[in-house]
Copies of this chain bind each other. A is one copy, B any other.
Amino acid sequence: MSLDGFVAGADQGLDNPLGIGGEKLHRWLFPASEPRHEGDVPAYEHLSLRRGAYVMGRNMFGPVRGEWDQDWRGWWGDEPPYHAPVFVLTHYPHDPIEMAGGTTFHFVTDGFAAALDRAKRAAGDREVLIAGGASTARQAFAAGALDEIVLDVAPVLLGSGERLFDGVADPGLTPVDVHGSPYATHIRYRVG
C-alpha cells in the first residue's frame, strides 16, 4: 500500500497492470539489485511461507477482463510460487489450470464465500492466504474472514488509484509486528 492508501495506481489495464506508479509499491518485493535489503527479508519470508490454499481476485491473476483469453496462465511463469491450490474469483467460468510445482488455479464463479470455503477444505489444517487484490481483500474484511493482515507500506504517494480500505468497516486491529527498510514498512496486525 502507498502511504496515501492505494494498492494500485490509476488507469490499470493491459499495458499497465499495476496502474500508474503501481510498481513503486513493490520495490521491497522485487529489488532492483540483489541481495534484498535485510529489513525486507522477514516480510518476504512471511509472504513466502507455504500455505494450504490461496484466494485471489481475477485482476490479480491477470490483466484480461471479460471473457477469458485461453492462453493466459498467470503472471508467474510455468512454476508459480504458490505450490498449492489457488482459487480465483471470476464471473467467467474456466477449467482449472494445473501448473508445475503443485499450483493449480481453480476458477470460482459463485462468490467470495464459496471460494473461501473451497480454499479452507483444500487447506485442511494449514493456513489460507487471501493474496489480493484490493476488491478481494475488501470482500474478506466484509466476510469477517481474516485473523491477521500484513500491510507493506511503501514510502510513496500515488495520489490516485484503488484504495485498499474504501468502505471497509473497522474490524479492530492490533499491530503485533513491525519492521522495515528504506523500501517499505511492514506491519502485521491481528484482526478482531
Contacts and interface: CB of A to CB of B under 8 A. Distances in A.
B174 A185 contact: no
A170 B178 contact: no
Interface string A136-178: 0000000000000001010111110001110111110111101
B181 A175 contact: yes
A4 interface: yes
Interface of A: 3-5, 151, 153, 155-159, 163-165, 167-171, 173-176, 178-182, 184-185, 187, 189
Given A4-B168, A156-B170, A157-B165, 6 more contacts: A4-B5, A153-B187, A178-B178, A178-B180, A178-B185, A180-B187
Contact of A151 (B3, B165, B169): B3
Contact of A155 (B4, B169, B174): B174
B178 A182 contact: no
Contacts of A174: 155, 182
A157 B182 contact: no
**In this complex, which of A3, A151, A153, A163 has the most chain B Cβ atoms within 10 angstroms of its Cβ?**
A3
A173 B156 contact: yes
B170 A159 contact: yes
Given A175-B185, A185-B175, A170 B157 contact: yes
